[in-house]
Amino acid sequence: MTVALWCVFVAALLPFPFTLAAKWSRRFDNARPRSSLEQNEGWRQRANWAQLNSFEAFPAFAAAVIVAHIVKGPSETVNCLALAFIGLRAAYGLLYIADKPTVRSLVWTAAIGCTIAIFISAA
């Protein structure tokens, strides 16, 4: 398996540390997890938002890597872009939790740029 395909696996798991952070509370009600998460405030609320956004970013990234592999085969460029995506998405989540919206948005844009670049590399 290539580095980029391993990155798809990592990206699939990336939301879960943010999920754990959002649920790290004595007030968390596992019988009603969604309503419990909606009542979060502060960094726990932002951790929940980070995990939701991580789930949203995953399909396009996974599709880009898979399409690139099908069309062009393994590529060092795709590997590098996939690694950059993982690093940027991890930073994105941490910046979300830390309440740094401007830098977070820049990092989000760079991560989306990696996904777009992977698709373009397959053209």
pLDDT at 108: 98
Check the CA dihedral 86-62-34-50 and report its sign: positive
Q: What CATH number was assigned to the domain covering residues 3-121?
A: 1.20.120.550
Q: What is the pLDDT along the chain (123 residues), one digit of tens a residue?
A: 999 999 999 999 999 999 999 888 767 766 776 777 777 889 999 999 999 999 999 999 999 999 999 999 889 999 999 999 999 999 999 999 999 999 999 999 999 999 999 999 998
Helix-, strand-, coil-residue percentages of the chain, each rounded to 5? 80, 0, 20
Give how far the C-alpha of residue 62 lies from the chain's centroid of Cα atoms, to the nearest Å. Answer: 11
Which of these, 19, 122, 11, 10, lies nearest to 71 by C-alpha position?
Answer: 122
pTM: 0.92
